[in-house]
């Protein structure tokens, strides 16, 4: 049983790695910072991006590729700015793969953007195993999901370059145990900075914007303020 | 790309169907009602079951098999009653399969229970494709996840025998649009009764208990009150 599972995953991952390498070369050539965002369904990936596109677009030129099992709801939610947004509908497939991103790039001019967000399918398990040629992997955990999720879904968190704790405005209502959550994140993703955010609160996203701008600057060889 | 995906799914599903058939025969022989519960991570499957085990055990003899990618946290949360609880750790696998249930049944005497709950891995995509020999599939959607999830993850909802809307005590705090959510559920799962619950509120679970008892009665050939 387990052997079969590993075989299938390995075959998929090998094919994916070839396409991810192509992506990495394209992103390198265009000098674009690529951020792969993963979470459970409804953790707030699209809400975060919607605000980010609105509030950061004066300083940073962005693009978004968004993956969903069905519907183009998310792309429509993001299409109120000038930012190019491409929707991938996976038709039942539980994660984004590098080959899907290669195809979606037909709709985005990399030379005209600084940062490309890849909003993955809402799923804390499968997306973690598929390299999309990204520079950074962000895992988002909403306060409503429970403090133990980093321990229960370790692969996504182990490979994260930052962890966003979202919906902090609801922390009190759901009796969120912040200390326990931070401890669990640190136990699995000890290297990753933790950004506490709220896409509904006024001041919720400044640490996230700073994070993006610093990483963009360091990708492009600084100096960074 | 799509062809390959379908091939792998078909191979997995064919193997699974054979094991699911064995399960169905075992459940039939023991006259046990089997309920497969699916949701996103953190929607409240374990909280619902913890209260159900406590409050329904005078009338119904229950058992639980719970699946997680890692940790036995959920089994430990459920082990405060006399109910037999078996934890399956899938080690990265994104859903439960029938063969895993067959193995887990070594830890449960079917002849001593009326209802067996299968708490699936927290994932709205993959578990929907794998028959576990169950009588009923329940999909749980928490109010914090957003009203559009039935449209975005249609397979799980299309195959559901009932939809539980959980965390209703948070509906106001998250500005839950109940009418939109019910409309979206009905659009995909028009046949499924909708149970609005809260595992934190005092009166939150009576419709769920009635549902279980009615289905148990009708499985055993009634008469049901």
Confidence of residue B1 (pLDDT cuts 50, 70, 90): very low
- Three-state DSSP at A193 gives coil
User: Under an 8 A CB cutoff, do A69 and B154 touch?
Assistant: yes
The pLDDT score that the predictor gives to residue A6 is: 42
Residue of A nearest to B155 (CA): A92
- Each residue of A177-186: pLDDT tens digit? 999 999 999 9
Confidence of residue A105 (pLDDT cuts 50, 70, 90): very high
- Each residue of A29-66: pLDDT tens digit? 999 999 999 999 999 999 999 999 999 999 999 999 99
Picking from A118, A134, A71, A123, the residue whose alpha carbon sits closest to that of residue A95 is A123
Residue B3 has pLDDT above 60, yes or no: no
Chain B residues bordering chain A (beta-carbon distance below 8 Å): 1-2, 5, 8, 12, 40-42, 68-71, 73-74, 91-94, 97, 99-100, 121-126, 129, 142, 144-146, 148-149, 151-155, 167, 170, 173-174
ipTM of the complex: 0.88
CB atoms within 10 A of CB B2: 10
Q: Which chain A residues contact residue B127 at CB under 8 A?
A: none
Check: CB of residue B99 under 8 Å from CB of residue B16: yes
Residue A1 has pLDDT above 50, yes or no: no
Check: CB of residue B152 under 8 Å from CB of residue B100: no
Q: What is the mean pLDDT of residues B89-103?
A: 95
- Three-state DSSP at A223 gives coil
Picking from B173, B171, B153, the residue whose alpha carbon sits closest to that of residue B163 is B153
CB atoms within 10 A of CB A168: 20
The residue among B68, B100, B153, B171 with the most chain A CBs within 10 A of its CB, best to mutate, is: B153
Check: CB of residue B5 under 8 Å from CB of residue A12: no
Q: How far from the centroid of its chain's Cα atoms is residue A40's Cα?
A: 11
8-state DSSP, B200: S
Instruction: Give the minimum alpha-carbon distance from A67 to chain B in angstroms, rounded to a whole number.
Output: 10
The pLDDT score that the predictor gives to residue A202 is: 74
Buried/exposed code over B195-211 (b: 16+ C-beta within 10 A; e: otherwise): bbbbbbeeebbeebbeb
Residues B99, A35: Cα–Cα separation, whole Å: 37
- Each residue of B55-90: pLDDT tens digit? 999 999 999 999 999 999 999 999 888 899 999 999
Kindly report the backbone phi and psi dihedral angles of residue B183, in degrees, each rounded to the nearest multiple of 5, phi listed first.
Answer: -65, -40
pTM of the complete model = 0.91
Q: What is the mean pLDDT of residues A82-95?
A: 93
The pLDDT score that the predictor gives to residue B42 is: 97
The pLDDT score that the predictor gives to residue B5 is: 42
Q: Which chain A residues contact residue B155 at CB under 8 A?
A: 69, 92
Task: Mention every residue, 6+ apart, whose C-beta is less than 8 A from residue A67.
Answer: A87, A88, A89, A90, A95, A96, A100, A118, A119, A120, A121
* Rg of chain B on CA atoms, in Å: 17
Residues A54, A35: Cα–Cα separation, whole Å: 17
Q: Which chain A residues contact residue B68 at CB under 8 A?
A: 152
Residue B34 has pLDDT above 80, yes or no: yes
Check: CB of residue A89 under 8 Å from CB of residue A69: yes
């Amino acid at each position: 049983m387990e052997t079969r599972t590993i075989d299938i995953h390995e075959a998929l991952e090998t094919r994916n790695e070839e396409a991810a390498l192509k992506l990495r070369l394209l992103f390198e050539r265009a000098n674009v910072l690529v951020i792969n965002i993963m979470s459970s369904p409804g953790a707030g990936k699209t809400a975060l991006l919607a605000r980010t596109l609105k509030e950061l677009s004066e300083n940073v030129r962005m693009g978004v590729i968004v993956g969903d099992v069905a519907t183009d709801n998310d792309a429509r939610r993001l299409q109120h700015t000038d930012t190019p947004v491409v929707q991938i509908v996976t038709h039942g497939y539980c994660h984004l793969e590098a080959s899907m991103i290669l195809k979606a790039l037909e709709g985005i001019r990399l030379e005209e953007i600084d940062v490309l967000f890849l909003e993955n399918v809402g799923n804390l398990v499968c997306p973690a195993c598929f390299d999309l040629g990204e520079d950074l992997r962000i895992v988002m955990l909403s306060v409503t999901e429970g403090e133990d999720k980093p321990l229960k879904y370790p692969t996504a968190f182990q490979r994260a370059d930052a962890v966003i704790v979202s919906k902090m405005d609801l922390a009190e209502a759901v009796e969120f145990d912040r200390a326990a959550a931070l401890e669990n994140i640190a136990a699995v993703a000890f290297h990753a900075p933790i950004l506490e955010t709220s896409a509904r609160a006024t001041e919720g996203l400044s640490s996230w914007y700073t994070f993006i701008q610093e990483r963009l600057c360091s990708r492009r060889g600084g100096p960074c303020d």
